Amino acid sequence: MPDEIPRRRLSPAALLGLAVGVAAVGGAVGALTDDADGLLRGAGSVMALASAAGAIWLTLLHWRRLDEAAREAHKAAWYWGGSAGLAVAGVVTGVFLARPETPMPWRLGDGDAGLVATGLLLCAAAQMIGYLVAWAWWWLVRR
């Protein structure tokens, strides 16, 4: 009988935290050097890209170290929570289309591009909120 306890490596949660941290540092460097000139801006962009690549790599490691139930929770949460979030975003889209005079309390950037970016961000946020709620629900009913 295999009775030996395998050694544990960096936990999936720690890897995910690292990925978020690396992405945040890259984003901050990119934002801080966005207004800089020449070499500094280029270096900032390279660092931001390298951070994004590092964050993706850490996320893949995180996924590979998750056990099957944790993966199932993520898949179910993304399907049900993400879809529900997108449905909410769809209703909001309908409201804005039906009432174009609705005031925008907040938006990203200027012009049409800013409006599109705001819409994309809100859709992503609605999906993320739905995903987090569904993920918590999945584990809550299996405690």
- Let me know: does 54 contact 22? Beta carbons within 8 Å: yes
Q: What is the nearest approach in angstroms of other proteins to the Cβ of residue 139?
A: 7
- Please provide the distance, in angstroms rounded to a whole number, between the alpha carbons at the two ends of the chain: 29
2 binds other proteins (CB under 8 A): yes
* Residues 6+ away with beta carbon under 8 Å from 104: 118
Q: For residues 70 and 15, what is the distance between their CA atoms, to the nearest angstrom? A: 14
141 binds other proteins (CB under 8 A): yes
1 binds other proteins (CB under 8 A): yes
At position 21, the amino acid (one-letter code) is: G
Which lies closer to other proteins via its Cβ, residue 6 or residue 111? 6
Which lies closer to other proteins via its Cβ, residue 7 or residue 99? 7
Q: What is the nearest approach in angstroms of other proteins to the Cβ of residue 106?
A: 38
- Let me know: does 55 contact 29? Beta carbons within 8 Å: no
Q: Which of 20, 54, 5 is nearest to 128 (CA)?
A: 20
Please, which of residues 52-81 interact with other proteins by CB under 8 A? 67-70, 72
Please, which of residues 120-139 interact with other proteins by CB under 8 A? 139
Give the interface with other proteins as residue ranges (CB under 8 A): 1-3, 5-6, 8, 67-70, 72, 139, 141-143
